[in-house]
Structure 1
């Protein structure tokens, strides 16, 4: 069986080692399975303790995608066996995925993440915490969970709250696909340059003097900034930055019902906006409410964010729209989901209160801050 995560080490000119992890499921656009999550966590943990490893490069097989998200088909299969119940397989996957995402956020060595091609859902989760996040002219980044009755997880509560203006609400509720400079604008990427530098990047990392007095973080930053300075004019400009005022006008305010009404009444000849708003309106009203709640959690630290999101993820499978959303989009592919509630106003406050209430007396991620 082919390894789902390729593990390599490359010797640098000064004898140091660069760890190289490649998501290796090209047919599924490198969608994250539980086995891949386990492999990544195990190897990153080992390399953090290995003094020879100076830097980690994380990428995906092929040119189409870094990672298109989690393996939601596998979770769907587990959920349909236990409708309306907590599902152990779902709990295990999200617990381990969030633990991996947290490890990347607190990792002590540079992680260069090659975010070229499709980067969505769980792929954004891997990317968000990396120290050196690279995007290219082929990058298509999104949190599209509204279409499957989930919510923008994998740390979304943390990074959506730190975006300019109302970009967090906009991205969380619409699944808008960002280009490279959009990702940089909202703080999900650090360096944007041409995808043709992929081979050069590894060669140049091997050529760095890792034993110099400069920190390894700074060495990598200087290298990547050099590429960006050369290629900046070749990449499309940010749409989100140019359209910030319009986004804020639609997605601002303190009423979800009013926001949905504005979205429904907004017409635009701009495809980026009309497509995003249509996606939201076709999405799960429960997800709208969950995103609304997420954007109220700006004071949570990283560990608290993942604990909060694990509760939401488990509840989405148990009492949300996840099963129906996946059925309509990926299983039957009729794109006609029968959501539990027809609109935002019909979602009872008690239902959302139940979804944000942890089902455990002892939280599976309560030790997260001690695992770094």
Structure 2
């Protein structure tokens, strides 16, 4: 990655590292063994540092990156949240609910930051990593990028503002990416609007030298940063997302429930005239939608559609309510148990199948657990 812990002049034990190059604060997530997954302490540290950098006139911009060669940020520390949920540690400053409150406030602060923010989406960039990265004014993907919002797989929904930032896509593409949790390449991310540039991984490896030599003139900081991070030419590859765009538009119509999407995919898969490439896509998509949490698939579909008409702050408030219900009453604990703890890959969803889903259950998950004035994020955006 672009800045190894050894090159950052602070304690290598810290989970977030800081240094300043040419007036630009380089903020490095430093848990490489965990693919830089966000702990609650990291979220708090980042929030404090962000306010310090906002007030520091000597800081003209921020660069977010991840330590180690494998990823920017794999998301929130889901195992820690699972342990807290199992122990019933919801409330208080160290409870699981406060983690989400603090994480969403951090993401919102980045979205509304007064100085340019660059996110280097190199390697694994998922979940909470997307919450940070999509808040940036310049999102740089690479030939090594692996982007996803895979929350439905473990009984959650794409959160951290995803019901807002995924809405920049055509609705069919948004539903496909949000429901299936498909892993996207850097070329895919550029195609669907989740990245502003896609460069070779090697180009990022030397960014600090270029940053140190690039004048950061007032009024042209954003332009200067683009000259540092955008390569002479993009990585000119066609991603699988573009190749499957017509299929995505055909099957992920906004008027269809997830159960109806599954039925359409089954009909398509039975068509012997379909090409091998189409058959492979249909099977992979069907496998996802028939193995993930039925509750959170239908809830996610509705939340993504609603998010297209919400402000960023409203999206965060909606997501917090859904996440709270998913952990207290839904499939989150079972999903994490099956995929990350016991790893038997056999989650016992309730209900177990999409045809058993009732509209009332979907609406219950979308109904806020709080009165509007008592919502933990009531003041967001006010």
TM-score (norm 1): 0.91
Q: Contact conserved, 1:112 with 1:133, CA < 8 A, in 2?
A: yes
Instruction: Report matched runs for 1:192-203 at 5 Å.
Output: 192-203=198-209
Q: Contact conserved, 1:86 with 1:315, CA < 8 A, in 2?
A: no
Match of 2:342 among 332, 341, 353: 332
Residues of 2 paired with 1:66 and 1:324: CA distance?
Answer: 27
Question: 1:259 is matched with which residue?
Answer: 261
C-alpha RMSD of the superposition: 1.8
Question: 1:279 is matched with which residue?
Answer: 288
Q: Contact conserved, 1:87 with 1:317, CA < 8 A, in 2?
A: no
Count of residue pairs the alignment pairs up: 358
Residues of 2 paired with 1:277 and 1:37: CA distance?
Answer: 35
Residues of 2 paired with 1:79 and 1:311: CA distance?
Answer: 15
Residue 174 to residue 294, structure 1, CA distance change in 2 (3 Å): same
Question: 1:5 is matched with which residue?
Answer: 16
Question: 2:357 is matched with which residue?
Answer: 347
Q: Contact conserved, 1:311 with 1:356, CA < 8 A, in 2?
A: yes
Q: Contact conserved, 2:187 with 2:235, CA < 8 A, in 1?
A: no
Residues of 2 paired with 1:248 and 1:87: CA distance?
Answer: 42
Structure 1: where are the runs of 5+ without partners?
none
Residue 276 to residue 258, structure 1, CA distance change in 2 (3 Å): closer
- Tell me by how many angstroms 1:222 deviates: 3.7
Question: 2:377 is matched with which residue?
Answer: 365
Residue 7 to residue 246, structure 1, CA distance change in 2 (3 Å): same
Question: 2:182 is matched with which residue?
Answer: 176
The answer on 1:136 being equivalent to 2:142 is: yes
Question: 1:232 is matched with which residue?
Answer: 235
Q: Contact conserved, 1:90 with 1:317, CA < 8 A, in 2?
A: no
Match of 1:291 among 275, 300, 306: 300
Question: 1:27 is matched with which residue?
Answer: 33
Residue 164 to residue 195, structure 1, CA distance change in 2 (3 Å): same
Match of 2:127 among 117, 121, 135: 121
Question: 1:204 is matched with which residue?
Answer: 210
Residues of 2 paired with 1:55 and 1:255: CA distance?
Answer: 43
Residues of 1 paired with 2:40 and 2:268: CA distance?
Answer: 41
Residue 165 to residue 367, structure 1, CA distance change in 2 (3 Å): closer
- Tell me by how many angstroms 1:123 deviates: 0.7
Question: 2:49 is matched with which residue?
Answer: 43
- Tell me by how many angstroms 1:245 deviates: 1.1
Query: Which structure exhibits the higher relative contact order, with contacts defined as CA atoms closer than 8 Å and separated by 6 or more residues?
Result: 1
